[in-house]
Amino acid sequence: MKDKVVLITGGTSGIGKALAFAFGREGAKVVVSGRNQQNLDATSQELAAAGIDNLAVKADVSVEQQCQEMVQATVQKYGKLDVLINNAGISMRALFEDLDLDVIRKLMDINFWGTVYATKYALPYILETKGSVIGISSIAGYRGLPARTGYSASKFAMHGFLETLRTELLHKGVHVMVACPGFTASNIRNTALAANGSQQGESPREEGDMMTAEEVADRILKATKKRKRDLVMTFQGKLTVFLNKWLPGLTDKLVFNHMAKEKDSPLKK
Query: How many Å is the Cα radius of gyration of the chain?
Result: 18
Q: List Cβ neighbours of 19 (8 Å cut-off, separation of 6 or more).
A: 6, 8, 11, 85, 87, 217, 220, 221
What is the distance in angstroms between the CA of the first residue and the CA of the last residue of the chain? 50
pLDDT at 199: 80
pLDDT at 209: 61
Its domain, for residue 54, covers 5-236
Listed range (3-12, 180-189, 193-202, 243-252) with the worst mean pLDDT: 180-189
Rounded to an integer, the average pLDDT of 64-82 is: 98
In a domain, residue 261? The reply is no
pLDDT at 196: 87
Rounded to an integer, the average pLDDT of 225-250 is: 94
In a domain, residue 85? The reply is yes
How many other CB atoms are found less than 10 A from the CB of residue 91?
A: 23
Rounded to an integer, the average pLDDT of 189-198 is: 80
- Sign of the dihedral through C-alpha 10, 104, 142, 267: positive
In a domain, residue 24? The reply is yes
Q: Which residues are catalytic?
A: 151
CATH number at 124 reads 3.40.50.720
Q: Please, which pLDDT band fits residue 202 given cuts at 50, 70 and 90? A: low
pLDDT digits (tens, 9 = 90+) for 96-106: 999 999 999 99
In a domain, residue 136? The reply is yes
Q: How many domains does the chain have?
A: 1
